[in-house]
């Protein structure tokens, strides 16, 4: 079984807005090819690098009361690769950072 990493996040925006942003974020990731879209699900492949034999990315977007739940998953493309050297976590973290809403400025800060 290939190494995987997955995170969930809730974003206080409509699913349609999060979906559009997710498409942009996925397309900006280094080495991403072959982006495929299905209702509520984006999938893409990441090219081979010195750290891995490539990864498969999936982003699921589901509307819930008060916002949108996003599941971000990265899995090694080579099924026997059980050590990913942190590559899957890096992929998920980059996508998550790209989807996070901008934070309001801190009160009292100038």
The 10s digit of each residue's pLDDT in 46-70 is: 999 887 899 999 999 999 999 999 9
Rounded CA separation 36/24 (Å): 13
Q: What is the pLDDT of residues 5-34, one digit of tens each?
A: 999 999 999 999 999 999 999 999 999 998
Among 1, 4, 2, 6, smallest CA distance to 92 is for 6
Q: Rg of the chain over CA atoms, in angstroms?
A: 15
Q: Domain extents for the chain?
A: 4-99
Q: Which fold has domain 4-99?
A: Alpha-D-Glucose-1,6-Bisphosphate; Chain A, domain 4 (3.30.530)
Q: Are strands 55-64 and 41-46 parallel, antiparallel or unpaired?
A: antiparallel
pTM beyond cutoff 0.95:
no
């Amino acid at each position: 079984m290939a190494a995987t990493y997955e995170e969930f996040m809730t974003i206080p925006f409509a699913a349609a807005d999060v979906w559009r942003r997710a498409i942009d974020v996925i397309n900006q990731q280094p080495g991403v090819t072959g982006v495929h879209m299905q209702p509520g699900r984006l999938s893409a492949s990441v090219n081979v690098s010195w750290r891995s034999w490539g990864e498969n990315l999936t982003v699921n977007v589901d509307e819930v009361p008060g916002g949108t739940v996003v599941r971000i998953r990265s899995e090694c493309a080579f099924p026997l690769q059980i050590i990913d050297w942190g590559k899957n976590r890096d992929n998920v973290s980059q996508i998550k950072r790209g989807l996070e809403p901008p934070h309001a400025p801190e009160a009292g800060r100038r």
